[in-house]
Chain A
């Protein structure tokens, strides 16, 4: 089996030559998965020189077809050898045999059903955008209520907070309404797009989450952190610039502040992730100290309280980020919750939480925040929740989180 590729303006053409049998399926599956991870959502598979395809081979093709269909991409087989055409037809998989590729749908098609020519609002059109650390496409979103960000008051008896669409939050807390729901299990918390998740500290090894459904809206009690309400004003679809392989969290935060045009901004992002560095609580912070003179952040007691990734982790995952960032000195009342994202003196300060889900490719172009976020909770459940950190310890440190590409919704706010 030989696999060669050719890039055209809006397609990746992959040519196979030989037999697609069980010996070669893993290689072809890995090759196709590699293209998708590299951001190729429009793939044409040339199977004109493939003289045999087994059912394992069919499964590989079908999986890629479904994966790309889910993100408005395209996967088609053209040309196909007679053997491939016959096998696909017999298997009822004719839909993979597309006659010819059509142009990329840059905006979602307008639904004009017969007799009711109601026009859906046109999706915003993006403008090219680039800074030193990333490049992409910037969309201006319809105006709505201005964004406001608040510190969570550290009052243990404060009531629960609701996180419907149009709000976001990050900090330490637990899903639930009563104190009993949360007692002994508070941990890293994140909320956006009507969905909320936290990493329980009661021994559960996976985050717990609630997704808005009908009248059900996530409720949580937070010990500390930041919450926000209002609309995001911009959407940035970003990619790594040609000279870099990934986009660092600092570069992303700097771009967010640059686009917001103010000293402070909040964002929600969905990213295809290259690696994450962060920490997460192991124990509910309201529990008593485990002993030791220096308190819970002293070494080695800190090992009981915090888990630290120690190196860049969660490579090739998909991530939901919620963050509040500011230029140094511009954090105002929120300063207690913000920390430098990297050691450079002019680096933004911020507080960013990340929910990690198994890898899935992200649809290109314009996207709505709430459906995109709730789609992350479909399928395989979240793996982990981290408070992201930029480890400044040079070579011995873990460095910072970075991303292959993603979508970030952002807005300025006045602290």
Chain B
């Protein structure tokens, strides 16, 4: 379970570049819940995931994951509990190392055993099977440098690595946005499969309305550093892409209500 209480983060406080990126986020995410996070650019989606992952320490608030208060834990310590996949296929892996070595690093996460063990056949056999199941023909290229693969192949592998140790929490930040539609679909199918099979607690940021309605059991809409809509259960199931477009329209209208519109409404609305 992930519990966020009163999370706030301001970047560059007290300067002209001050950004109040998180303005009080309270959220409880049950074990096994697959949560979609939507919001306009700059609404704080990535900042929320980064706050949980420990990219920075929040200004105020509390983060509890799997019974630990991780609020002050550094990023590498949280990494033992958290798997991540970013938008950029070139982050999260070491491009010059082979597929097998990258997996070994992932498998070593949180364990004291060395790289030698990781590259042993204890790891290699299941790894080969799993990579074969991607049907990308990569099982015969485990010794190739990961940097030589296409974006879609890398994202698929990164996802496998991120979930290899069944993390307490999986964070996906627009992990298919940089891919061509076909590779994107493949990675989405794989994500669904892995998340469903291991019942992974997941936070997934996406820009795709279609993904947002068809995936997950809960949907959060963020705006200006806050969660402004939270749909779960049948309310989530009922959502159609048009409903989400309506919600975005509503947000846009909210932004159009500026100070001069407020003055006008004060005098004209009854």
Could you tell me which A residues sit within 8 Å of B by CB distance? 205, 224, 279, 297-300, 302-303, 306-311, 336-340, 351, 387, 389-393, 396-397
Contact = CB atoms under 8 A, between A and B. Distances in A.
B209 to A, nearest CB: 16
B264 A310 contact: no
30 contacts: A205-B243, A205-B246, A279-B265, A279-B269, A298-B262, A299-B258, A299-B259, A300-B262, A302-B257, A302-B266, A303-B254, A303-B257, A306-B257, A307-B253, A307-B254, A308-B256, A308-B261, A308-B265, A309-B253, A310-B256, A310-B257, A311-B256, A337-B270, A338-B270, A339-B269, A340-B268, A389-B264, A393-B260, A393-B264, A397-B264
Interface in B218-262: 243, 246, 250, 252-254, 256-262
A303 B251 CA distance: 10
Contacts of A302: 257, 262, 265-266
Contacts of B263: 299
Contacts of B259: 299
B120 interface: no
A309 B264 CA distance: 13
B268 A390 contact: yes
Contacts of A307: 250, 253-254, 257
Given A303-B254, A308-B256, A310-B257, A297 B265 contact: yes
Given A205-B246, A389-B269, A393-B261, 17 more contacts: A205-B243, A298-B262, A299-B262, A302-B257, A307-B253, A310-B252, A310-B257, A336-B270, A337-B270, A339-B269, A387-B270, A391-B261, A391-B264, A392-B268, A393-B264, A396-B260, A397-B264
Nearest to B258: A299
Contacts of A396: 260
Most chain B CB atoms below 10 A, which of A297, A310, A339: A310
Nearest to A205: B246
B17 interface: no
Contacts of B252: 310
Contacts of B253: 307-310
Contact of A339 (B250, B260, B261, B268): B268
B267 interface: yes
B256 A339 contact: no
B270 A297 contact: no
A338 B261 CA distance: 19
A306 B269 contact: yes
Contacts of A279: 265, 269
A136 B270 CA distance: 31
B40 to A, nearest CB: 15
Given A302-B257, A389-B269, A297 B262 contact: yes
Most chain A CB atoms below 10 A, which of B246, B253, B263, B267: B253
Contacts of A303: 254, 257
B266 A297 contact: yes
B28 to A, nearest CB: 20
A301 to B, nearest CB: 9
Nearest to B246: A205
Contacts of B258: 299
The 7 closest A-B pairs by CB, nearest first: A310-B256, A299-B262, A299-B259, A297-B266, A308-B257, A302-B262, A339-B268
Nearest to B269: A279
B159 to A, nearest CB: 34
A260 B267 CA distance: 27
Nearest to A336: B270
A205 B231 CA distance: 13
Contacts of A306: 257, 265, 269
A13 to B, nearest CB: 37
A351 B270 CA distance: 8
A274 B261 CA distance: 22
Nearest to B253: A310
B13 to A, nearest CB: 20
Contacts of A337: 270
Given A308-B257, A310-B253, A224 B270 contact: yes
Interface in B100-125: none
Contacts of A339: 267-270
Contacts of A224: 270
Contacts of B266: 297, 302
Contacts of A310: 252-253, 256-257, 261
A300 B261 CA distance: 11
Contacts of A300: 262
Contacts of B254: 303, 307
Nearest to A304: B254
A303 B252 CA distance: 11
A297 B261 CA distance: 11
Most chain A CB atoms below 10 A, which of B243, B250, B257, B267: B257
B142 to A, nearest CB: 49
Most chain B CB atoms below 10 A, which of A307, A336, A338: A307
Contacts of B262: 297-300, 302
A389 B265 contact: yes
A280 B263 CA distance: 16
Contacts of A299: 258-259, 262-263
Nearest to B262: A299
A334 to B, nearest CB: 11
A131 B246 CA distance: 38
A392 B270 contact: no
Contacts of A391: 261, 264
Most chain B CB atoms below 10 A, which of A302, A340, A396: A302
Contacts of A389: 264-265, 268-269
Interface in B120-157: none
A224 B269 CA distance: 12
Nearest to A383: B246
B263 to A, nearest CB: 8
Nearest to A225: B270
A387 B265 CA distance: 11
